[in-house]
Structure 1
């Protein structure tokens, strides 16, 4: 029970780690959007300065404004270099990046009329973005900071020097500036909030997938607890039955009756098989993989596996093809054998007259393919392959075979794929990384 509780704790920790990675990935994409927005801000400031000086003839403190712009460009270049390599972005780092944007906007407005500049409404863009990107407390902090900046600009600023001979009216230009500011705010909000919303939806989808996977793995843990408990309970009656059968074989009424003795030996053989199954369950539930692994060659493992399965199942036509020429020393545990047995048993149920099992490898990947001549998979079964109770057999508890196979393969770093063959029947392919199975010749054994 202690080992199973450790498994639960490890899975919970892994799930929390995966969810954190998903959130960090979403934050990284949002940070890249802020970097792109900052480049647009730099381009907009350059265009505004050119129009104000060359078209309107307004005298601007170009040195101060260009100094702010250079600082913003340097910060954005540093941000691009850092977040190109670093993938983990926290709420604090997003908040600090937005503070830089607010600070640069405040500085530019200070040199261009303060609150009388129509582009002061770009502060609303920062507030709305903070409401989308940041946590609640950080958003309210942004609201407070922008309010302080507005109050500062209303009291302190450098007024624009309007040329006396300008053909443009100041009021008309202010109204035009308001329209331009509104269009900028609206366009940027639509573009970037759409992108940010897409990131958030993708993050929520990934989290939902992780939680679904966690629920399935917790289901496996509960099944393992039940299986190990049942195996412990069955151990005693199986041992008692073995002793009784041994006594019966030596009794004269059975020993002198060949027919009865043959039946007793058949029962004893089935009893030994039951004990082997129970031992395998306890071994898988109570030991680590390395401790319960058996050292063998890759080809010998599959030869023994096929011989054991074929001798204990009522299969009529079974083909086994091994395409592995290289002899490799591997360590397999009972879960791999049980995984293959589950797929073969499922195929045997729908196709007792035609069944093929193929083994091959490609570089560092082991392929195990089971092909049958049955009716194939239904579309909804393929769409939800590997989910519990996803079966067309119509009986309680059906559909757990492929569910267990999927989780075993995923735990070992492999995959499970299924498809319907063009000429009829179905094919299930299991893949496992050889790196997790092959033993190094000079490594520890």
Structure 2
């Protein structure tokens, strides 16, 4: 559902609330005029109009709860029906001589706030025609003691009551509409921020893949040179040089695997990296691989998934887990933990440590780029990528400082996002 449709739904709810006020006001006014002022009114037709308004509110509430999209034109129809009900009530109670005829202006103001320009002017034209028609076509009402000036007194009193009613409703209306507009603007700002972040990810991905392609050629050249050196007896006869050449080859292979992983994460070698596995095997292998690479002092790993499920091994997800573990290890070299569990249809991954915890500004802006209390290296981009990959997979990420010491990061992902054949894109 679009932001504008969501705003229209909030405005429809506002119209429903104002209509309840109108129903209560009409019942009160008719009761006072008939019972206390002795004015003869056609109670049956006027009561029928009130019942129609109540029925209209019932239909509107059903649309509010069960209709996802709501167009601006539907608000126009709602206002037209309110204008029609007001016109009938005024026709039955004195037409344009009724002081409540100025409530047409309230309908116009509602239209000016809620409707598109052309619909607003259509509502202005409709209310003007109704007002003009009521000046000559209406059912007269019997005002007692008109020769004593009571009619003028009642008219002024009615105008005063109408003014108070219209003023109160306008204050409530403008306040609510202003809040709706602020909520819509906040949502638009959030979407713009998300778009900017995703654009940032695209540019970073292009930079990474470009660098990976550029590094491919010199790494291949170095691999050839090292291979030639291993075939030279003059070099291999020296044990120290031979050991250094072996170490260089190991590090070179590591660089090549890093470059391949970058390209794989960017989707340029996806066909080679797609592996069908199970959720338990995926995390067992990921935990084992990370532990072998980082060699932490104490690493507590718990896999609580009893009901296993088939998934597609996703390099991006593995990198998310590695980034979270790397951040925990940097904050807490002495101990960190990884817990994996299943809660209903969701996968829950919890990474905890006993470090100093997150600073308040990092907790407030968690996952935003360049929000980090570390040195210049990294600058918070690792967590930024974690948050956005999680969002792409339809999951959520929550962070909090543990009681006493340490921090806890909880990653929640729907199993459907990891199932074979699922499309994880937005």
Question: Taking structure 1 as the reference length, what is the TM-score of the superposition?
Answer: 0.87
What's 1:57 paired with? 38
Quote how far apart the aligned CAs of 1:290 are: 8.4
Q: Is the 8 A contact 1:284 1:292 kept in 2?
A: no
Shift of 1:288: 9.4
Partner of 2:266: 285
Q: Residue 96 of structure 1: which of 73, 77, 100 is its match?
A: 77
More divergent stretch after superposition (47-56 vs 25-34)? 47-56
Separation of aligned partners in 1, 2:359 and 2:147? 77
1:206 Cα offset (Å): 1.9
Residues 1:91 and 1:326: Cα distance change in structure 2 (over 3 Å): closer
Match of 1:147 among 128, 131, 148: 128
C-alpha separation in 1, matches of 2:135 and 2:273: 75
Partner of 2:118: 137
Deviation by residue 1:10-52 (Cα, 9 ceiling, x = unmatched)? xxxxxxxxxx622212211211221222232223223222222
2:396 pairs, out of 415, 426, 440, with: 415
SS in 2 for 1:375: coil
Match of 2:238 in 1: 257
In the superposition, the TM-score normalised over structure 2's length comes to: 0.91
1:439 is displaced (CA, Å) by: 5.3
From the superposition, tell whether residues 297 and 80 of structure 1 become closer, same or farther in structure 2 (CA, over 3 Å).
closer
Q: Which residue of 1 aligns with 2:170?
A: 189
RMSD (Å) for aligned C-alpha atoms? 2.5
Superposition pairs for residues 307-318 of structure 1, below 5 Å?
307-313=288-294, 315-318=296-299
The structure-2 alpha-carbon separation of the partners of 1:123 and 1:206, relative to structure 1 and needing over 3 Å to count, comes to same
Partner of 2:327: 346
Say if 1:289 and 1:333, in contact at 8 Å, map to a contact too: no
Say if 1:416 and 1:430, in contact at 8 Å, map to a contact too.
Answer: yes
Q: Name which structure has the greater RCO, CA cutoff 8 Å, separation 6+.
A: 1
Task: Measure, in 2, the Cα distance between the counterparts of 1:74 and 1:359.
Answer: 53
Residues 191-227 of structure 1: per-residue CA shift (max 9 Å, x gap): 2332232222222222222221121111111111111
CA distance in structure 1 between the aligned counterparts of 2:93 and 2:257, rounded to whole angstroms: 85
Aligned length: 421
| Contact 1:56/1:166 (8 A) holds in 2 | no
CA contact (8 A) 1:360 1:368 kept: yes
Deviation at 1:86, TM superposition (A): 0.7
Question: What is the CA distance between 1:291 and its match in structure 2?
Answer: 7.7
For residues 49 and 343 of structure 2, the distance between their equivalents in structure 1, rounded to whole angstroms, comes to 58
Which residue of the other structure, out of 113, 117, 122, is the alignment partner of 2:94?
113
Matched, 1:42 2:23: yes
Answer with 177-186 or 198-207: which moved more.
198-207
- For 1:31-430, list aligned pairs within 5 A: 31-164=12-145, 169-286=150-267, 292-313=273-294, 315-395=296-376, 397-430=378-411
**2:139 alignment partner, SS class:** coil
After TM superposition, the structure 1 stretch with the greater mean CA deviation from structure 2, 299-308 or 380-389, is 299-308
The separation in 2 between residues aligned to 1:77 and 1:421, in whole angstroms, is 49
> What SS class does the counterpart of residue 394 from structure 1 fall into?
coil
1:114 to partner: Cα distance: 1.8
Could you tell which deviates more after superposition, 351-360 or 378-387?
A: 351-360
- What are the ranges of 5 or more consecutive residues in structure 2 without an aligned counterpart? 422-426
CA displacement at 1:388 relative to structure 2? 0.6
